[in-house]
Amino acid sequence: MNALRLVRVLFLSAMLALTFCACEDPLTPGQEQIIEELNRREVPAWFDASKFGIFIHWGPYAIPAFAPLEGTINDALVNHFDDFTLHTPYVEWYWNALQYRNSATHAYHTSTYGSGYPYDNFGQLFRQEVENWDPEAWGALFQAAGARYVVLVTKHHDGFLMWPSTHRNPNRTDWYSERDIVGELAEAVRSRGMRFGVYYSGGLDWTWNGRSGRNIVEMGASIPIDDAYLDYAEAHYRELIDRYAPSVLWNDIAYPFNRGLWELQRDYYEAVPEGVVNDRFAVMGPITRWLQFSSVRVFYHLLLKFLTGLSGDLSALQGFPPPHADFRTLEYQAIDGIVEEKVEVTRGMGLGFGYNRFETDEQILSEDELIHSFVDIVSRNGNLLLNVGPKANGDIPEIQVARLNQIGDWLAVNGEAVYGTRPWNRAEGETGSGHPVRFTEGEDGLFAIVLHGPAPGPVRLLDVGGATVSSVEWLGHGSIPWQWDGPDLIAELPENEAGGVAYTLALR
């Protein structure tokens, strides 16, 4: 970065910090004490040990099931920063994009349903479709995939509730599922030994303010911050906790204000001692107030556009973390090095989360891409929260089922190198043939996961001399001959017809 650009970044960062200070939402002394107590709490061991969870985006947006397939969310931000929400591959943002006549979503909607067809109709159709859903089939599929927890979207940005809440939407009639999707899935998941969590869009609800906007700044300006919405969101969270005792509270975008938030999290942990919360409870209400001024919106838009241009990715848009969280949340991003804080990486199997009827195999992760990225995440102290986007009637597309079965088959053999492990002193390695290796460490030794299919003959693991080894096992096949050659370990793979996209050598 040249000197002029560095000065501009420092200046704009200083302005950003000053604005944040001016927008501060002060904590009460009681809340500060609550946060101190929350931060002394140990993150429950189950979450770190689980490594693999299933995310589910399912709602009225599964009826049209459309989003443009122009690239990733990252591509949309970099290439269409001024109106990125019109280009996002996220089906669940359909309603927002629909309101802009120059969007691909508006063109699709008009040609398919007609110009006067309201999004509200999708809610009524979805209420009918969910009667065909089989939660037990989902539970069996997720269990076979090797998932240890499942997180369901209970309310996305369109405000539709996936349970028959006693706190109904005051702005939409019948904007909820009469069938208790949350409760039925929780039962199907828990009966198979998995934990259950809930996602809730605390920062956006388009039934309160019409739409999110074209870009990041307009999205921030659209966060509902009136007292009625804050009471509504808190009531939903408390109802979800009381009814379903979720093991994960997964908030999205932000939270309006500090009022009631930290008391809510304290009460959650008291009700669910092994519960965890993510890092998207950042309080945005005061900033949203400032963003009601057009001049402030222009300033922030130019600032964020500049920073995104420098980084070329989402990292420039990472918000300030809340004062308490159990894990960091990365979306369609890789972990940079081994991290000390627990991280959960979330992504869909394709370009987005909700079911997109126009996605093909070209957009869907291949088996090796899925398993290799999963192993990489685990080696760096992360969990993978892999999304499933069901059709409106609850059927999960065949290509997604295939990927779940593939990762399940792989974990059935290699799970010892994943579940309950921790990072080694480095994440990455290489074989003598140039194949990438990822390392994890368990109670019974070091695991070297080779990101390539096995072939009979010698395998040289480069520079693993720091490991204490008395035997080497090829997981799923038993002990194999091995020897040291300086800092390298050479193992001999026997003749075997088993293929695969990655295999594990356990250095006992």
pLDDT at 87: 97
In contact, 278 and 228? CB cutoff 8 Å: no
The one-letter amino acid code at 496 reads: N
Percent over 70 (pLDDT), the chain:
93
Percent over 90 (pLDDT), the chain:
89
First to last CA, the chain: 46
- Structural domain boundaries in the chain: 3-417, 422-507
Rg of the chain on CA atoms, in Å:
24
Q: Report whether pLDDT(8) > 60.
A: no
Does residue 217 come out as left (phi exceeding 0), alpha (psi in the -120 to 50 range) or beta?
alpha
Over residues 122-148, the mean pLDDT reads 98
Two structure tokens written together for 24: 């501060």
Two structure tokens written together for 371: 């398993």
The one-letter amino acid code at 261 reads: L
Which range, of 20-29, 258-267, 416-425, 498-507, averages the lowest pLDDT? 20-29
pLDDT tens digits, 349-386: 999 999 999 999 999 999 999 999 999 999 999 999 99
Burial of 326 (0-12, 13-18, 19+ CB in 10 A): buried
Q: Report whether pLDDT(62) > 50.
A: yes
- Spatial strand order in the sheet of 382-388: 276-277, 248-252, 195-201, 149-155, 52-56, 382-388, 343-348, 328-331
Two structure tokens written together for 341: 């804080």
210: confidence class by pLDDT, cuts 50, 70, 90:
confident
pLDDT at 7: 40
Tell me the backbone φ, ψ of residue 228, rounded to 5 degrees: -65, -40
pLDDT at 2: 46
In contact, 317 and 77? CB cutoff 8 Å: yes
14: confidence class by pLDDT, cuts 50, 70, 90:
very low
pLDDT tens digits, 299-348: 999 988 887 776 555 555 566 789 999 999 999 999 999 999 999 999 99
In contact, 237 and 277? CB cutoff 8 Å: no
Residues 6+ apart with CB under 8 A from 162: 58, 59, 152, 153, 154, 155, 176, 177, 181, 182
| Cα 74 to Cα 373: distance, rounded to the nearest angstrom | 17
Q: Which fold has domain 3-417?
A: TIM Barrel (3.20.20)
pLDDT tens digits, 28-42: 999 999 999 999 999
Query: What is the pTM for the complete model shown?
Result: 0.95
Please count the residues of the chain: 508
Q: Report whether pLDDT(20) > 80.
A: no
Over residues 187-200, the mean pLDDT reads 98
Q: What is the mean pLDDT of the chain?
A: 94
Q: Report whether pLDDT(194) > 70.
A: yes
> Which residue(s) pair with 473 in the sheet?
479, 506
Three-state DSSP state, 410: helix
Over residues 211-230, the mean pLDDT reads 95
Q: What is the CATH number of domain 422-507?
A: 2.60.40.1180
- Report the relative pairing of strands 472-474 and 503-507 from DSSP bridges: antiparallel
Q: Report whether pLDDT(221) > 90.
A: yes
pLDDT tens digits, 446-485: 999 999 999 999 999 999 998 899 999 999 999 999 999 9
pLDDT at 17: 52
Q: 365-369 — which CB contacts under 8 Å span 24+ positions?
A: 365/403, 367/403, 367/406, 367/501, 368/451, 368/501, 368/502
| Cβ neighbours around 311 below 10 Å, total | 12
pLDDT tens digits, 235-245: 999 999 999 99
- Nearest by Cα to 218 from 201, 206, 200, 231: 206
| Cβ neighbours around 48 below 10 Å, total | 18
Q: Report whether pLDDT(16) > 80.
A: no
pLDDT tens digits, 266-310: 999 999 999 999 999 999 999 999 999 999 999 999 988 887 776
